Amino acid sequence: MKHLLKILFATLFITFGLQGFAAVNVVECEDETGNHSFQKVCPPGSMKIGEKKLKTGASAEKKSSNTNIQVTLYSIPDCEACDEIREFLGTRNISITEKNANEDIDIQKELTELTGSLKVPTTIIGEEVLTGYNRSKFLSVLEAAGYSDEES
């Protein structure tokens, strides 16, 4: 519940605090194993559990080729850095497959095999494993994975 309130607050702030910018709609999906992802539409076998409109600062007509970048986010509830990563990638039209490591022992084992610890957020972009959130490192790894910022 606390996590949903944070998302609602962030959505309200973005909606009313950044007037004049274009927006992108992002839905939060949950698959049958409880993994969350943020995408334009929920894939088959998952259900929509939330929706956000994120301001991008880009034209509403802007088309993106960034949907082919594979991103997995290992997170836990009430994680501010996880929220920042979701917003950062969402505003760039990059889909995320999210794995909640809070109470799922299999996901915790996956995370430990990847990083040697249970550190969240851990983000996998292509083959690159990032722990924590460093915006410039994310941009560098995204560019190496084929991200193109059409505004620059």
In a domain, 66, yes or no: yes
pLDDT for position 10: 52
**Number of folded domains that form the chain:** 1
CATH number for 54: 3.40.30.10
Question: Is residue 91 a part of any domain in this protein?
Answer: yes
Q: Is the pTM of this model over 0.85?
A: no
Task: Examine residue 151 and state whether it is found in any structural domain, yes or no.
Answer: no
CA dist 124 and 141 (Å) reads 10
Least Cα distance to 120 among 70, 83, 69, 71 occurs for 83
Q: For the segment 13-23, what is each residue's pLDDT rounded down to a tens digit?
A: 555 554 444 56
Q: Is residue 87 part of a domain?
A: yes
Is there a domain that residue 150 lies in? no
Residue 121 has pLDDT above 90, yes or no: yes
Q: Tell me: the pLDDT tens digits for 66-96?
A: 668 899 999 999 999 999 999 999 989 899 9
Spell out the residues 6+ positions from residue 13 whose beta carbon is closer than 8 angstroms to its own: none
* CA atoms of 63 and 92, how far apart (whole Å): 11
Tokens at 13, concatenated: 């702030």
Q: Is the pLDDT of residue 1 over 60?
A: no
**Quick check: 141 pLDDT over 90?**
yes
**pLDDT digit string, tens, across residues 25-82:** 777 878 888 877 777 777 778 888 877 766 555 443 444 456 688 999 999 999 999 9
Would 149 be classed as within a structural domain?
no
Q: At what angle do helices 80-90 and 2-17 cross, to 10 degrees?
A: 40
Domain around 42: 2-144
- CA torsion 6-8-12-18 (nearest 10°) is 60
